[in-house]
Structure 1
Amino acid sequence: MNLIEMNNSNIKGLLSIGGDGTLLRVVSNVSQRDPPPIMGVNVGSVGFLDESNHRKVFRDIEKILEDKYIIEECSKITPYVVKKNSEEIRLNNGLNEVLIVSSKSSKVLQVSIKVNGVFLNRSYLDGVIISTSTGSTAYNLSAGGAIIFPTLDVMQITPLNAFARSGLKPIIVPHDAVIEIKLLRPRLNAKIIIDGQKIVRNIQPNTKIRIRKAESKARFIRISDDLYSNYFRRLRKKIIGVLKIPPSDSPEE
């Protein structure tokens, strides 16, 4: 059976063995209408999205068989390229982010940004990240965006090295918003990168790119009875760390 044929009715669950990149590929290639739940098994480096690892995977499988798990549902986003006749070309769903950057690494884009048809900003910048709550701990975080709890239905707009006087900062918008990015700089194409894997090149000047919430969600198996404790445990362990303070630490006199 191919991944695209796997859905929640014919597959009880999937194991994704690798790292976050492997998990993103699995999420992208299974059925998008009714995806099966997935448990990531990390054998890579960070593996923030992964629930298990090679040392405890068999114990975790036993817990799944004993129904000692919960399902975390995470929203995805879908980018559309708008043609001159206003027809929208739908691209692949993204679980983490949709990145819009210049086709030439030495050149900056000029873009205008609208949310639900309302003008937000016009700026020179290296690129724009539109991320999901799940993707807030990925490229978005490195670019100065906020960490968002993964079950919140929102999208985040994060500029990459925006011109200082533009005033554009990361902004969080509701899940039902439509984000529109228009490419303004003449003779400079852009490319769209979805989850760091799917690349659409040669997006021409004056093209509009719209991003909406996807119709389906990704589903992850969590070996826990509480999403909050599960998420913050992974966040402390793999992303933000914990400062070790000596017990005798006190202000200097």
Structure 2
Amino acid sequence: MKIAVFGQYYQNNTHSIVEKVVAFLEQNNIEICFYKIFYDKLIENEVSLSEYSTFDSHECLKDNFDYLISIGGDGTILRAATFVRNYNLPIIGINSGRLGFLATIQEENIEKLLTRVVANDFSISKRTLVSLHAHPENIDLEDINFALNEITVSRKDTTSMITIETYINNEYLNSYWADGLIISTPTGSTGYSLSCGGPVIMPTSNCFVITPIAPHNLTARPLIIPDDSELTLKIKGREEQYLVSLDSRITSVSNETTLTVKKTDFFISIIEFPEEGFLRTIRKKLLWGEDKRN
């Protein structure tokens, strides 16, 4: 078995988490390959590690890996997804961040749950992604043109709202007069979309949600659509450019650009365990249904 280990940051508990992960993998004779930038940060912070092979691009993960362990928060898994792409490489999320909707394995459960991974005792949650294409092409949007959480368009360099002319399968929906618009996957429904009034959606639901950001009309509310829909966005505003973000990656796009948003033809696989499932997570992280009267 061969496992890739990915991370972005060195935090207070990163040292102990990495030591536990490495100790378990070595005890089980599992080959380890670190993301090079993360490996260098660990060495810089005096984490005691042997010499391991490293990877520095998504091309390195195409073959011969069984799993990818992500050490960090949900943002780290979003970044890991840009390496995993369509390689069908399941992600194991170990949480060293704060919320942890995707990275649900806590430090105290590392050995127990990794033992179950080795024993093939887990489930896989296939997560839908959303893709973006620009017309005319924008070089910043072509290399990594997909998002696990959401695609967002928003105003830039102005306090004025923008107008987002929106079509579903070439049929006119609405012109949103707002600070921006979020097209969220079910996975992303507990993120930015939720903060803007969007619904919480079960991760395996076959839908997207369109959530306006600070709309200036009371009738513009979040809309759930089938995930086989194709969205077309045409943005107008006082400034010559607006912002487009795919998860945490952001770029500027000129007003004459038309955006096409649709589901990707591949999924990201997240390893899950019943005791760290979605319903338990929203109760624990969002205090779902909590009522001091009960």
Pairwise same-fold verdict (TM > 0.5): yes
Deviation at 1:91, TM superposition (A): 5.0
Deviation at 1:107, TM superposition (A): 2.4
Q: Secondary structure at the match of 1:51?
A: coil
Question: Of residues 141, 149, 163 in structure 1, which corresponds to 2:194?
Answer: 141
1:161-207 CA deviation, whole Å, 9 max, x = no partner? 11116x22111111111111101235431110111x21121x12232
1:210 matched to 2:260: yes
Range 3-12 or range 67-76, more displaced: 3-12
Residue equivalent to 2:278: 231
CA distance in 1, matches of 2:60, 2:144: 20
1:151 matched to 2:198: no
Residue equivalent to 2:33: none
Structure 1 unaligned regions, length at least 5: 248-253
Range 88-97 or range 128-137, more displaced: 88-97
1:105-133 CA deviation, whole Å, 9 max, x = no partner? 42211121110011111132000000001
Change (3 A) 1:240 1:115: farther
Change (3 A) 1:174 1:241: closer
Deviation at 1:6, TM superposition (A): 5.3
Task: Look up the equivalent residue of 2:271 and give its one-letter code.
Answer: I
Identity over aligned pairs, percent:
27
CA distance in 2, matches of 1:147, 1:246: 24
> Normalized per residue, which structure has more helix?
2
Number of residue equivalences: 237
Please say if residues 131 and 261 of structure 2, whose CA atoms lie closer than 8 Å, have aligned partners that are also in contact. Answer: yes
Q: Secondary structure at the match of 1:46?
A: coil
Residue equivalent to 2:94: 41
Residue equivalent to 1:176: 228
Residue equivalent to 1:250: none
Indicate the RMSD between aligned Cα atoms, in angstroms.
Answer: 2.2
Deviation at 1:245, TM superposition (A): 4.4
Change (3 A) 1:6 1:237: farther
CA distance in 2, matches of 1:35, 1:26: 13
1:240 matched to 2:287: yes
Q: Secondary structure at the match of 1:68?
A: coil
Q: Secondary structure at the match of 2:133?
A: strand
Please say if residues 127 and 269 of structure 2, whose CA atoms lie closer than 8 Å, have aligned partners that are also in contact. Answer: yes
4+ residue segments displaced more than 6 Å: none
Please say if residues 159 and 170 of structure 1, whose CA atoms lie closer than 8 Å, have aligned partners that are also in contact. Answer: yes
Question: Of residues 251, 274, 283 in structure 2, which corresponds to 1:200?
Answer: 251
Q: Secondary structure at the match of 2:98?
A: coil
Select the structure with the greater relative contact order (CA < 8 A; seq sep ≥ 6): 1
Please say if residues 156 and 239 of structure 2, whose CA atoms lie closer than 8 Å, have aligned partners that are also in contact. Answer: no
1:192-238 CA deviation, whole Å, 9 max, x = no partner? 0111x21121x12232111010111110111239xxx8210111111
Please say if residues 83 and 89 of structure 1, whose CA atoms lie closer than 8 Å, have aligned partners that are also in contact. Answer: no
CA distance in 1, matches of 2:190, 2:62: 27
Question: Of residues 69, 74, 78 in structure 1, which corresponds to 2:122?
Answer: 69
Change (3 A) 1:187 1:230: closer
CA distance in 2, matches of 1:104, 1:53: 40
Change (3 A) 1:38 1:113: same
TM-score (norm 1): 0.86
Deviation at 1:75, TM superposition (A): 0.4
Please say if residues 129 and 149 of structure 2, whose CA atoms lie closer than 8 Å, have aligned partners that are also in contact. Answer: yes
